[in-house]
C-alpha cells in the first residue's frame, strides 16, 4: 500500500514556483475545492475518464498522449525509482489524466512540452494536501540520502517524530519519461518515534545529554538563542489544559544521573539507562551508534536515527511543537530546562 501523497523533487518545486500557482492551490485545498478520490477499482478509471471527456478536459490533448495512457492502462507498466521497478497503482493514473492542471490552466496546458512530466508534477503538488497544523521540519543529509524529519504532535497530543526519505532519485514515470516526483512509498518512511504525551521536557534532556557526550555542551549563549527563538513563536496552546500551564516539573529531576551515566553503544553490552516511553506500554531505549543518536526497542533494529547536525534542530522542533500547542507541554518548561543545564 502507498500513501496518496507524492514526494516532489527540487526541480519539481522550481517548476511549481515558476508557474506561480502555490497560493491558488493552497486556497483551493483550504476550500476543499479539489477533486478527491479514494481507492479505485478496475472499473472506476474508465468511468472517471468518460466523465472528464464529457467536461472537455481532453479537448486539445495530443492523440499520442491519449494512446500512451490507454496502453498503460492495458499493460500496467511500472515506475522506475533509482533503477528499481515500482508497481503502478490504479490511483497513479489520476496524476496523468490532466484533471488537476485543467482546473488551473483550462486546456492550454496540452500544448506544453514534456507533457507527462508537467501534468504529473502539477497534479502531484495539488493532490499532496498539506497538513492543517504542520510541525517543525528540516532536511538531514546522510551518506547521499536526504531525510526529512518532522517534530509534531498527534491528534491526542502525543509527541511524534517522523523520518521520511526525500532523496531525488532518478525516476521514470509509467510511460518511461523522466519526471520530477515519485509516489510516496512505505519504504520512504525510514524511521520515527511514536511517543506518549507530556514528555517533551524529558526528550529535550536526552538531546542535551547527547550533545554533551558529543563534546558540544549547551552554553548560556546557545540556550539564550533557543529561548529567544521560541518566545518569538508565541504560545498557541492546544486543546489540552496541560499546555496552558506549567506541570510543576523540577528541572533538576530531568537530569538525574546524567553526569554519571553515558549513553551506551548500540552494538555494545552495557544496559541502556535512557529511554523514551511510547504511546503504548513499552519504551524506546536510547543508544549511540558511532556519532549518531539511535532509538531501539530490542537492540536488534533501529527505529529512529539522528546525526549530530540534527541535535540543535531537535531542540528547536520540541520548542516549536510545544509553542504551537501540538503537544501537552508548556514551552516554559523547556526554557527552564535549558536555563538549568547551561555550562
In which residue are the cell numbers 539511535 written?
294
The dihedral of CA 263, 265, 266, 272: what is its sign?
A: negative
* 251 vs 50: which has the higher pLDDT: 50
- Looking at the DSSP bridge assignments, the partners of residue 142 are 145
In which residue are the cell numbers 517548476 written?
15
Domain ranges of the chain: 6-127, 198-340
Question: Using CA atoms, how far apart are residues 117 and 110, in angstroms rounded to an integer?
Answer: 12
Average pLDDT score over residue span 110-139: 90
> Grid coordinates representing 240?
489540552
* CA 299 to mean position of chain CA atoms: 25
> Grid coordinates representing 41?
477499482
pLDDT greater than 80 at residue 247: no
Q: Which of these, 310, 332, 335, 318, lies nearest to 216 by C-alpha position?
A: 310
The model's pTM is 0.90
pLDDT greater than 60 at residue 38: yes
In which residue are the cell numbers 519539481 written?
12
Helix 200-213 / helix 311-323 crossing angle, nearest 10 deg: 160
User: Mind listing the pLDDT tens digit for each residue in 4-13?
Assistant: 789 999 999 9
Question: Using CA atoms, how far apart are residues 285 and 296, in angstroms rounded to an integer?
Answer: 5
Q: Which of these, 84, 109, 73, lies nearest to 172 by C-alpha position?
A: 84
User: Mind listing the pLDDT tens digit for each residue in 143-174?
Assistant: 899 999 999 999 888 999 999 999 999 999 99
Whether the CB-CB separation of 296 and 303 falls below 8 Å is answered with yes
pLDDT at site 1: 44
Question: Using CA atoms, how far apart are residues 153 and 318, in angstroms rounded to an integer?
Answer: 10
Amino acid at each position: 500500500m502507498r500513501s496518496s501523497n507524492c514526494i516532489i523533487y527540487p526541480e519539481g518545486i522550481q517548476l511549481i514556483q515558476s508557474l506561480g500557482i502555490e497560493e491558488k492551490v493552497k486556497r483551493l485545498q483550504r476550500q476543499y475545492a479539489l477533486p478527491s478520490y479514494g481507492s479505485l477499482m478496475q472499473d472506476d478509471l474508465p468511468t472517471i475518464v468518460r466523465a472528464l471527456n464529457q467536461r472537455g478536459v481532453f479537448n486539445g490533448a495530443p492523440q499520442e498522449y491519449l494512446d500512451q495512457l490507454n496502453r498503460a492502462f492495458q499493460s500496467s507498466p511500472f515506475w522506475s525509482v533509482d533503477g528499481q521497478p515500482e508497481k503502478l497503482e490504479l490511483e497513479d493514473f489520476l496524476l496523468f489524466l490532466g484533471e488537476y492542471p485543467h482546473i488551473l490552466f483550462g486546456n492550454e496546458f496540452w500544448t506544453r512540452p514534456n507533457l507527462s512530466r508537467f501534468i504529473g508534477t502539477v497534479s502531484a503538488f495539488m493532490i499532496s494536501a498539506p497538513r492543517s497544523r504542520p510541525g517543525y521540519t528540516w532536511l538531514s543529509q546522510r551518506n547521499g540520502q536526504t531525510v526529512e524529519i518532522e517534530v509534531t504532535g498527534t491528534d491526542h497530543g502525543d509527541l511524534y517524530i517522523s523520518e521520511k526519505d526525500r532523496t531525488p532519485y532518478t525516476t521514470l514515470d509509467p510511460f518511461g519519461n523522466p519526471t520530477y516526483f515519485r509516489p510516496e512509498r512505505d519504504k520512504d518512511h525510514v524511521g520515527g518515534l511514536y511517543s506518549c504525551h507530556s514528555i517533551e521536557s524529558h526528550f529535550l534532556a536526552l538531546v542535551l545529554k547527547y550533545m554533551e557526550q558529543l563534546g558540544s555542551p549547551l552554553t548560556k549563549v546557545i540556550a539564550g538563542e533557543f529561548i529567544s527563538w521560541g518566545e518569538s513563536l508565541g504560545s498557541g496552546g492546544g486543546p489540552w489544559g496541560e499546555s496552558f500551564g506549567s506541570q510543576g516539573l523540577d528541572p533538576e529531576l530531568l537530569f538525574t544521573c546524567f553526569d554519571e551515566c553515558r549513553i551506551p553503544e548500540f552494538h555494545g553490552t552495557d544496559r541502556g539507562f535512557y529511554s523514551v516511553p511510547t504511546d503504548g506500554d513499552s519504551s524506546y531505549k536510547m543508544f549511540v551508534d558511532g556519532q549518531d543518536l539511535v532509538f531501539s526497542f530490542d537492540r536488534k533494529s533501529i527505529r529512529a536515527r539522528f546525526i549530530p547536525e540534527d541535535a540543535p534542530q531537535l531542540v528547536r522542533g520540541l520548542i516549536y511543537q510545544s509553542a504551537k500547542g501540538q503537544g501537552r507541554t508548556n514551552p516554559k518548561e523547556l526554557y527552564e530546562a535549558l536555563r538549568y543545564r547551561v555550562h
